[in-house]
Structure 1
Amino acid sequence: MELRSVEELMDLLYACRGTRDVQEGDGPPVDLHDHALRTAALLRRGRPADKELQVAGLVRPVGVLLWPGDPAARAGHLADAVRTLLGERVSGLVRGRPGQDADAGDDLLALREAAQEGRAAPFDAGVLEDWRTVLHLVAARNSRLGALD
């Protein structure tokens, strides 16, 4: 599967509403839609200029929706699905593997911490529509970079 448009991705993010995911360990189940918004909001607070990191946090729960019975391969499937639309960096962050960038390990740590805090700390993180423009910006940037290769 490959996500080809921001609209397709937005539809999947909306479809996450009402789908619950159980954390490994003792954590209570969380609504995937709410978790996506909280994770992205926390990353926006901590790294306001890093739109790709924020988007990686936003899209991660889509993997649970699309591949619910396959947690081991979920990150890889989702990384492959978003690569063409959102680029190599977002794909690598979703996969959970550091890229060539020296800061990639810090980025993965920030992503994991935001995801954990987003599970444990319910707060109003806004609405999904607030992220449409950011998704379009990241997709457009990736499209321009791809054209330069």
Structure 2
Amino acid sequence: MELRSVEELMDLLYACRGTWSTAGRGGAPVDLHDHALRTAALLRRSRPADKELQVAGLVHPLGRLLWPGDPHGRAGRTAAAVRPLLGDRVARLLRHHDGSDVRADDDLLSLRQAAEEGRGAGFDAGVLEDWRTLLELVAARHSRLGAVD
């Protein structure tokens, strides 16, 4: 599976609404849609200039929706699915954010911390439509860079 348009990505993110998942460490169930919004919002607060990191936070729950029975392979499959649309950096963040040692990489550490904090409730993270422009920006930037390669 490869995501080819922001519209297709938005549809999948909307489909996360009502899909519940627990953390790999036995945490409380969380709605994937809400978790995606909270994770991205936390990254926007902590790293406002890093648009690709924010997008990675927004789309990181997609693997749980698309491949719920494949906990070990879903990070790689999710990365491969978003790479054509969102680029190599977002794909790398998704592939490695659940890895065993993220301490050496500030981006991965930020993503993991936001994802963990985003599992809890407590603030209004807005609505998915608020993220469309940023998704389009990252996709367009990747498209332009990809055309040069």
Show the counterpart of 2:100: none
Moved more, 87-96 or 23-32: 23-32
Show the counterpart of 1:9: 9
- CA drift of 1:148 comes to 1.1
Cα-to-partner distance string for 1:55-105 (whole Å, 9 max, x where unaligned): 0000011110000000100100000000010000000000017xxxxxx81
- The separation in 1 between residues aligned to 2:89 and 2:118, in whole angstroms, is 22
- The separation in 2 between residues aligned to 1:17 and 1:121, in whole angstroms, is 15
Instruction: Please state whether the residue corresponding to 2:72 is helix, strand or coil.
Output: helix
Letter in 2 for 1:44: R
- The separation in 2 between residues aligned to 1:12 and 1:20, in whole angstroms, is 14
Letter in 2 for 1:91: A
- The separation in 2 between residues aligned to 1:123 and 1:32, in whole angstroms, is 15
Give the TM-score normalised by the residue count of structure 2: 0.93
- The separation in 2 between residues aligned to 1:136 and 1:120, in whole angstroms, is 28
Instruction: Please state whether the residue corresponding to 1:71 is helix, strand or coil.
Output: coil
Show the counterpart of 1:139: 139
Extract unaligned runs of 5+ from structure 1.
98-103
Letter in 2 for 1:77: R
Percentage of pairs with the same residue: 76
Structure 1 runs (4+) deviating above 4 angstroms are none
Residue 116 (1) aligns with residue 120 (2): no
> Which structure has more helix as a fraction of its residues?
1
**Where do residues 48-63 of structure 1 align in structure 2 (5 Å cutoff)?**
48-63=48-63
- CA drift of 1:121 comes to 4.0
Q: How many residues align?
A: 143
**Where do residues 1-149 of structure 1 align in structure 2 (5 Å cutoff)?**
1-96=1-96, 105-149=105-149
Extract unaligned runs of 5+ from structure 2.
98-103
- The alignment yields a C-alpha RMSD, in angstroms, of 1.1
